[in-house]
């Protein structure tokens, strides 16, 4: 086979300058396996070469942090010596090409990140973004992605307990599939990934290695999508949840028996990234013999073996005397277990085949010396995104507007979607989808763990800084509504091409907003992912910095609910210190209004104080229900509380001048609480008592005319608008 050229390097995603730098690092031109390995490790997906400096500005330390960025996942202390490992990652481009396998293997990959630390996965949440459901392509992607998530999670026995879904035109070409996983372990059970101990053996265990997924991190995940994206289908991995279940149990038994020195999953870039990152963290080298790697296909070239992204594989380091025991445990769980390499002092990745050196690269060159690129942010002079296509007249009255909002794609009930998932397997789920604003899992000591994931990309497109702040505030608000205090945050930064100034500006401002919000919330970022180049021929996606947050509450039994429950309870609007705005709202979208250039800012000290008050009111049992005001505004939140509790409400009249603004305007930091009137009135935050729970109708007084009312039946019918997508 001829030696690779600069043209081959460019085809693999490297630039001509990067190819020259590879030659300089090696002191010669790379051979095929070396070029393939560099193309992956120097890809955006693996190296974060356009975002690493920005990520360094985020807060990563806090009282609860047990393990911060740099490992397979982050981890926070939850209760006693119990630790929660959690992380969110993306599988966007694979899901746009092959949605079932893309979404399924996205779940498989994030689960491996969790048990690679020694934690047992206990939950999955997902954040999905598609084009409008009027699009046949978007409906297909949604259906198959949801099926893939359900297939993998349900089969492996990990509950899918929450998530969010948004439908917006800019995701039509490039959908987003982000998966977040949580796992539990005792502190002493956790393990890191650094390869250490000269002479120790490198063992590959799990599924055999095939040609699926080759080049996924560089060719598929680190470039814009064009019209020929279907041609990239061979780069999508194929998953097997039953194989992963065996791999999970095998990994945890190996750790429980004390057989491993370190553990790492084979994700993006396969053996290349797993082995080289282990070597880098341990400041050692590795020698790998490809002749003993279990293969699924005959005649695989060295580069194919090293960059294959075949799923359900793990790498571990163990002492030479323990190899037999490690292999025996693998045989027990019916997975391949093979010693394929050795930890060496010389800091190189040496690839052997047929008794000869097939490739040899310095570890530093491969992992640590990837070129970092500055980005040049510039606020766009003209709107990046067209106005959404309006579906609701500005003349629509209060009654018709609420019905239209409840039936709109971004506000309709997600229950038909979540019913595709098993959310109660493992018997920890205390608050399931639709019960509360955050998912809640019971812990062995009677306390609980709560989790939320969120981001409104359209709001971020209006104002990247404020929109990112809102994403973090939304997650913290969801936790407060069940009585949980944030412990830590993970994030997935989904953006377009960072080499374009307008996208660089979005990314820079969003990271700044996320950092400011997480510092104020004392919810440090312990890990995450960056997914760039989510951009097609029609332009970039909405900037979507998905935020996942984990919190703790002292009692699982006291976890809050969102539904009204007690006839005669008072209803209060709590928290808002400024009037909400219709600009950038769901109502503005339904009316076809263009995105505004900016959103009103937040006093983060005030927001934190409100969150503290709401959290304590829920924890103490002083309030009956708690629900944050988000998309759609106050009246939508009231309707959701009615539907969740299957009971009506009477609302006082709102001034005619501010009617639609107060009913449907949006601003984070507001809550709808119900409970005894005297208890609500005593809360030390901005508050307005404006209604009473009861009956089977939602009724709103109208100062300018007759009252307006909706039966629960018509509210429920509108809210079920997505049900036909999941017959």
Catalytic site positions: 45, 91
Asked whether 195 and 279 are in contact (CB, 8 A), the reply is yes
Torsion of CA 358, 197, 320, 278, to 10 degrees: -50
Let me know how long the chain is: 727
Q: What whole-number distance in Å separates Cα of residue 535 and Cα of residue 471?
A: 22
Contact status, residue 378 vs residue 504, Cβ threshold 8 Å: yes
Element (H, E) at 588: helix 586-590
Burial class (CB in 10 A: 0-12, 13-18, 19+), 619: buried
Report d(CA 300, CA 351) in Å as an integer: 14
Q: Give the chain's largest Cα–Cα span.
A: 89
In the numeric block, which tokens belong to residue 726? Answer: 């999941």
Q: Is 227 exposed, middle or buried (0-12, 13-18, 19+ CB in 10 A)?
A: exposed
H or E element at residue 120: strand 120-130
Local structure of 580: helix, strand or coil: coil
Cβ burial, residue 155 (10 Å; 0-12/13-18/19+): middle
**Burial (Cβ within 10 Å: 0-12, 13-18, ≥19) of residue 604:** middle
Strands 82-90, 74-79: pairing is antiparallel
Q: Which residues pair with 317 in a beta bridge?
A: 202, 262
Distances (CA, A) of 384 to 469, 594, 596: 21, 11, 11
DSSP per-residue letters across 66-91: EE-BTBSSEEEEEETTEEEEEEEEE-
């Amino acid at each position: 086979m001829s030696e690779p050229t600069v043209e081959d390097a460019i085809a693999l995603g490297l630039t001509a300058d990067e190819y020259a730098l590879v030659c300089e690092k090696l002191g010669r031109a790379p051979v095929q396996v070396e070029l393939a390995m560099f193309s992956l490790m120097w890809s955006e997906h693996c190296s974060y070469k356009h975002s690493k400096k920005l990520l360094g500005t985020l807060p990563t330390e806090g009282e609860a942090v047990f393990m911060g960025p740099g490992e397979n996942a982050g981890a926070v202390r939850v209760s006693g010596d119990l630790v929660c490992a959690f992380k969110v990652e993306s599988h966007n481009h694979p899901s746009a090409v092959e949605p079932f396998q893309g979404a399924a293997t996205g779940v498989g990959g994030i689960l491996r990140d969790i048990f690679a630390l020694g934690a047992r996965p206990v939950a999955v949440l997902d954040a999905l973004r598609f084009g409008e459901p009027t699009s046949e392509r978007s409906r297909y992607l949604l259906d198959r992605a949801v099926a893939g998530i359900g297939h993998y999670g349900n089969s492996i026995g990990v509950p899918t307990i929450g998530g969010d879904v948004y439908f917006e035109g800019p995701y039509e070409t490039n959908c987003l599939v982000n998966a977040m996983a949580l796992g539990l372990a005792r502190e002493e059970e956790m393990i890191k990934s650094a390869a250490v101990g000269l002479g120790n053996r490198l063992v590959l265990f799990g599924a055999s290695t095939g040609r699926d997924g080759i080049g996924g991190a560089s060719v598929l995940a680190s470039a814009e999508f064009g019209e020929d994206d279907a041609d990239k289908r061979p780069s999508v991995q194929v998953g097997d949840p039953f194989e992963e279940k065996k791999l999970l149990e095998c990994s945890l038994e190996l750790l429980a028996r004390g057989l491993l020195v370190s553990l790492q999953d084979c994700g993006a870039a396969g053996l290349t990234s797993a082995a080289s990152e282990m070597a880098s963290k341990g400041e050692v080298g590795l020698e790998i013999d490809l002749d003993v790697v279990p293969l699924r296909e005959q005649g695989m070239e060295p580069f194919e073996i090293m960059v294959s992204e075949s799923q359900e594989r793990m790498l571990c380091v163990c002492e030479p005397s323990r190899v037999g025991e490690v292999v025996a445990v693998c045989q027990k769980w019916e997975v391949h277990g093979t010693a394929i390499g050795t930890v060496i002092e010389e800091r190189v990745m040496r690839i052997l085949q047929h008794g000869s050196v097939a490739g040899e690269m310095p570890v530093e060159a491969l992992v640590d010396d990837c070129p970092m690129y500055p980005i040049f942010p510039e606020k766009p002079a003209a709107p990046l995104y067209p106005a959404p296509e309006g579906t609701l007249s500005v003349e629509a009255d209060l009654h018709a507007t609420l019905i239209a909002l409840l039936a709109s794609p971004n506000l309709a009930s997600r229950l038909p979607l979540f019913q595709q998932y098993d959310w109660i397997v493992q018997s920890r789920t205390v608050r399931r989808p639709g019960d509360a604003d955050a998912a809640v899992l019971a812990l062995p000591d009677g306390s609980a763990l709560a989790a939320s994931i969120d981001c409104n990309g359209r709001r971020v497109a209006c104002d990247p800084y404020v929109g990112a702040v809102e994403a973090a505030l939304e997650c913290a608000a969801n936790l407060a509504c069940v009585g949980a205090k944030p412990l830590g945050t993970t994030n997935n930064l989904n953006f377009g091409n960072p080499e374009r100034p307008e996208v660089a500006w979005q990314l820079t401002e969003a990271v700044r907003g996320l950092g400011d919000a997480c510092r104020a919330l004392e919810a440090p970022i312990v890990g995450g992912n960056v997914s760039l180049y989510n951009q097609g021929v029609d332009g970039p996606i909405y900037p979507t910095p998905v935020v996942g947050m984990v919190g703790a509450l002292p009692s699982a039994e006291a976890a809050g609910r969102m539904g009204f429950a007690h006839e005669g309870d008072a209803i209060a609007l709590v928290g808002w210190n400024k009037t909400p705005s219709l600009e950038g709202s769901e109502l503005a979208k339904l009316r076809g209004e263009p995105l505004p250039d900016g959103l009103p800012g937040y006093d983060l000290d005030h927001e934190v104080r409100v969150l503290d008050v709401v959290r304590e009111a829920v924890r103490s049992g002083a309030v009956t229900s708690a629900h944050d005001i988000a998309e759609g505004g106050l009246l939508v939140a009231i309707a959701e509380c009615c539907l969740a509790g299957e009971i009506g409400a009477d609302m006082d009249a709102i001034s005619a001048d501010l009617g639609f603004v107060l009913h449907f305007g949006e601003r984070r930091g507001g809550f709808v609480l119900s409970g005894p009137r005297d208890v609500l009135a005593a809360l030390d935050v901005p508050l307005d008592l404006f209604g009473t729970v009861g009956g089977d109708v939602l009724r709103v007084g109208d100062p300018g005319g007759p009252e307006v009312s909706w039966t629960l039946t018509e509210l429920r019918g509108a809210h079920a608008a997505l049900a036909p997508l999941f017959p």
